[in-house]
């Protein structure tokens, strides 16, 4: 049965600019998460008492998409930053491209979760997931956390709701899932392409003990060989390496399969001698996106060694890109390691680009403290003013703007009490952290009055104004049946 685009899958139309390194993170509790304060960690830690178990369901959902598409996803740390904090849509060093948070939804029993599509979409909100923590999430029964997150992260990667109710991307909760359906796979591959064999295995190299990727020349030149861009393309696949220990070799042999900051892979690495006897093996099946190192205490010069890298979980964590590092730490190559041309396999030394530390430019006292001196923002469809601050707890700041397009607008300023007035000075909306202004024509004038909502007042805040549809209409929901 063939897959029907538009029925078995729907493409939203945007995707991640760098699909080979999509990061994700779990936002800390207490940050503002679109319509509420994030309580995902406290809620799930209390519900699922085993440490790490709910985080693994989220990771497994992302690894499921990675296992069939030409993408690599990695976990990163998060920090005390609100939803849609101004910043980079992808590659922001403060948190993941895809962030997870949760709170009690206003429509508590209608929606399980909602998610933003990939950039361009808001500021940093693109791809972010909001989980309704008032719902009864479970592992292995309704509402199954993996099944819901699998659907939501499909949105994070660019898939819309599929009309076919059997697909993971169907809008209604469809019961327990263990993986993707044909339409889901066709959809994600239509965006990013299928997961392919790496540059070795696509040429028939490294596919078995009989035809390994040979590192002998690399190790003849250096006691440290790094092979990058390797990848396990499906569950159960294995990649094979070999080398003849150089004449200078002595002491330990260490072989590391590294997936940390590279993919969701949970690798296993094994070292064998020339007759195929297993000498050492290392893995950590409870981890993902991790590095493992197998060691042989005394390497024998002239002896051939084989190494095999495979997944160690028999799950979607068995797929992903990695790096192989072979090292002879107690051995010194006879010649000083003059720059030698790369051997069979080009070894790559990552050259980190020096990043200047983030600077906080000193902020002059605010002058927009009266309606007459309001900051004029002009016509606005979407704007963010970062690094604002109140001079004191009693400061009031004024802004004015005209709507750039017709529609509803959302005004965000975490830590601030916000009042919105119309051109005649009538109060039309107010709230803390966030205010929505109902539909208006293009060119409608608004005045904003902001004061600290907290004591002590926030020392720095951001004001963002955006046409509601930029965020609201791109959200899709998973509804309980
Ligand atoms: Zn959905």
Rounded CA gap, 27 and 75, in Å?
A: 12
Whether 134 has a pLDDT exceeding 80, the answer reads yes
What pLDDT does 9 receive?
98
Rounded CA gap, 285 and 219, in Å?
A: 29
Whether 446 has a pLDDT exceeding 90, the answer reads no
Rounded CA gap, 357 and 414, in Å?
A: 24
Give distance in angstroms: CA of 153 to centre of ligand 1.
Answer: 9
Question: Domain residues for 239?
Answer: 201-327
Q: Residue 335 falls within a domain, yes or no?
A: no
Whether 449 has a pLDDT exceeding 90, the answer reads no
Q: What angle do CA 33, 464, 455 make, to 5 degrees?
A: 65
Say whether both 148 and 70 belong to one domain: yes
Say whether both 26 and 82 belong to one domain: yes
For residues 305 and 357, the model is more confident at 305
Q: Where does a domain end: 327, 343, 361?
A: 327
What pLDDT does 409 receive?
61
Q: Which two tokens stand for residue 364?
A: 């002059």
Q: What is the pLDDT of residues 286-316, one digit of tens each?
A: 999 999 999 999 999 999 999 999 999 999 9
| Residue 225 CA to its chain's centroid (Å) | 29
Give distance in angstroms: CA of 161 to centre of ligand 1.
Answer: 5
Whether 40 has a pLDDT exceeding 90, the answer reads yes
Q: Which two tokens stand for residue 194?
A: 């299928």
What pLDDT does 379 receive?
57
Say whether both 188 and 206 belong to one domain: no
Q: Where does a domain end: 148, 176, 195?
A: 195
What pLDDT does 380 receive?
60
Most confident of 157-161, 350-354, 369-373: 157-161
Give distance in angstroms: CA of 155 to centre of ligand 1.
Answer: 7
CATH of the domain at 426: 2.60.120.380
Q: Residue 350 falls within a domain, yes or no?
A: no
What pLDDT does 452 receive?
86
Q: What is the pLDDT of residues 73-90, one digit of tens each?
A: 999 999 999 999 999 999
Give distance in angstroms: CA of 154 to centre of ligand 1.
Answer: 8
Q: Which two tokens stand for residue 46?
A: 């209390």
**pTM of the shown model:** 0.73
Among 94-98, 233-237, 401-405, 437-441, which is the least confidently predicted range?
Answer: 401-405
Q: How many domains does the chain have?
A: 3
What pLDDT does 358 receive?
45
What pLDDT does 108 receive?
80
Tell me the average pLDDT of the chain: 87
What pLDDT does 367 receive?
73
Q: Residue 1 falls within a domain, yes or no?
A: no
Per-residue pLDDT averaged across 192-205, rounded? 97
Say whether both 113 and 229 belong to one domain: no
Q: Taken in order 64, 313, 209, 220, is the CA torsion positive or negative?
A: positive
List Cα–Cα distances, 127 to 41, 380, 429, 467, 475, in angstroms.
Answer: 19, 24, 29, 18, 10
Whether 460 has a pLDDT exceeding 60, the answer reads yes
What pLDDT does 467 receive?
64
Give distance in angstroms: CA of 92 to centre of ligand 1.
Answer: 25
What pLDDT does 408 receive?
67
Give distance in angstroms: CA of 313 to centre of ligand 1.
Answer: 29
What pLDDT does 428 receive?
80
Q: Residue 40 falls within a domain, yes or no?
A: yes
Give distance in angstroms: CA of 439 to centre of ligand 1.
Answer: 25
Say whether both 121 and 259 belong to one domain: no
Give distance in angstroms: CA of 160 to centre of ligand 1.
Answer: 7
Give distance in angstroms: CA of 118 to centre of ligand 1.
Answer: 14
Percent above pLDDT 90 for the chain: 67
Give distance in angstroms: CA of 132 to centre of ligand 1.
Answer: 13
What residues pack around ion ligand 1 (CB closer than 5 A)? Answer: 161, 476, 478
Per-residue pLDDT averaged across 244-256, rounded? 96
What pLDDT does 215 receive?
97
Decide: 232 and 319 in contact? Cβ < 8 Å: yes
Q: Residue 364 falls within a domain, yes or no?
A: no
Q: Residue 346 falls within a domain, yes or no?
A: no
Give distance in angstroms: CA of 480 to centre of ligand 1.
Answer: 11
Say whether both 155 and 236 belong to one domain: no
Say whether both 189 and 265 belong to one domain: no
CATH of the domain at 39: 3.40.390.10
Say whether both 116 and 248 belong to one domain: no
Q: Residue 398 falls within a domain, yes or no?
A: yes
Say whether both 251 and 279 belong to one domain: yes
Say whether both 176 and 208 belong to one domain: no
Whether 469 has a pLDDT exceeding 50, the answer reads no
Percent above pLDDT 70 for the chain: 81
For residues 165 and 460, the model is more confident at 165
What pLDDT does 312 receive?
95
Give distance in angstroms: CA of 479 to centre of ligand 1.
Answer: 8
For residues 149 and 414, the model is more confident at 149
Give distance in angstroms: CA of 472 to centre of ligand 1.
Answer: 13
Q: Residue 191 falls within a domain, yes or no?
A: yes
Among 140-144, 224-228, 403-407, which is the least confidently predicted range?
Answer: 403-407
Q: Where does a domain end: 138, 167, 195?
A: 195
Phi, psi at 154, each rounded to 5°: -60, -40
For residues 475 and 66, the model is more confident at 66
Say whether both 112 and 174 belong to one domain: yes
Per-residue pLDDT averaged across 232-251, rounded? 97
Give distance in angstroms: CA of 159 to centre of ligand 1.
Answer: 9
Say whether both 240 and 142 belong to one domain: no
Give distance in angstroms: CA of 380 to centre of ligand 1.
Answer: 30
What pLDDT does 404 receive?
66
Could you tell me which of 264, 282, 280 has the C-alpha nearest to residue 318?
264
Whether 463 has a pLDDT exceeding 50, the answer reads yes
Among 151-160, 325-334, 373-382, which is the least confidently predicted range?
Answer: 373-382
């Amino acid at each position: 049965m063939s897959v029907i685009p538009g029925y078995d899958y729907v493409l939203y139309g945007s995707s991640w600019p760098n699909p080979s390194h999509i990061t994700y993170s779990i936002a800390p509790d207490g940050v503002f998460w679109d319509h509420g304060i994030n309580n995902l960690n406290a809620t799930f830690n209390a519900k699922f008492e085993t440490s790490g178990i709910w985080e693994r369901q989220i990771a497994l959902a992302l690894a499921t998409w990675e296992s069939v598409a030409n993408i690599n996803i990695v976990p990163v740390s998060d920090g005390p930053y609100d939803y849609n904090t101004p910043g980079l849509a992808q590659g922001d060093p403060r948190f993941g491209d895809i962030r997870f948070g949760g709170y009690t939804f206003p429509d508590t029993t209608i929606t399980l979760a909602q998610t933003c599509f990939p950039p361009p979409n808001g500021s940093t909100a693109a791809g972010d997931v909001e989980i309704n923590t008032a719902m009864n999430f479970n592992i292995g029964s309704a509402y199954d956390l993996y099944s819901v997150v699998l659907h939501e992260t499909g949105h994070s990667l660019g898939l819309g709701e599929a009309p076919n109710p059997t697909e993971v991307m169907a809008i209604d909760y469809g019961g327990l899932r263990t993986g993707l359906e044909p339409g889901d796979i066709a959809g994600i591959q239509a965006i990013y392409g299928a997961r392919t064999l790496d540059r070795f295995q696509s040429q028939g190299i490294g596919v078995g003990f009989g035809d390994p990727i040979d590192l002998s020349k690399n190790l003849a030149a250096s006691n440290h060989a790094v092979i990058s861009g390797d990848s396990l393309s499906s569950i159960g696949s294995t990649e094979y390496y070999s080398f003849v220990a150089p004449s200078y070799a002595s002491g330990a042999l260490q072989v590391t399969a590294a997936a940390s900051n590279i993919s969701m892979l949970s690798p296993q690495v094994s070292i064998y001698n020339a007759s195929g006897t297993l000498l050492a093996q290392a893995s950590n099946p409870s981890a993902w996106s991790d590095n493992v190192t197998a060691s042989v205490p005394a390497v024998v010069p002239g002896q051939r060694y084989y190494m095999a890298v495979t997944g160690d979980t028999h799950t979607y964590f068995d797929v992903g890109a990695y790096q192989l590092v072979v090292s002879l730490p107690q051995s010194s190559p006879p010649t000083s390691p003059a720059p030698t041309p790369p051997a069979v396999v080009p070894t790559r030394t990552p050259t980190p680009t020096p990043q200047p530390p983030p600077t906080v430019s000193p902020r002059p006292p605010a002058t927009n403290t009266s309606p007459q001196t309001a900051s004029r923002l002009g016509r606005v469809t979407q704007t963010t003013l970062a690094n604002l601050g109140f001079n004191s707890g009693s400061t009031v700041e004024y802004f004015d703007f005209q709507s750039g397009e017709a529609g509803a607008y959302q005004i965000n300023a975490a830590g601030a009490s916000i009042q919105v007035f119309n051109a005649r000075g009538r109060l039309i909306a107010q709230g803390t952290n966030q205010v929505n202004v109902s539909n208006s024509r293009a060119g409608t004038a608004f005045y904003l009055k902001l004061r600290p909502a907290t004591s002590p007042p926030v020392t720095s805040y951001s004001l963002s104004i955006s046409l509601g549809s930029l965020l609201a209409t791109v959200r899709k929901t998973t509804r309980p049946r």
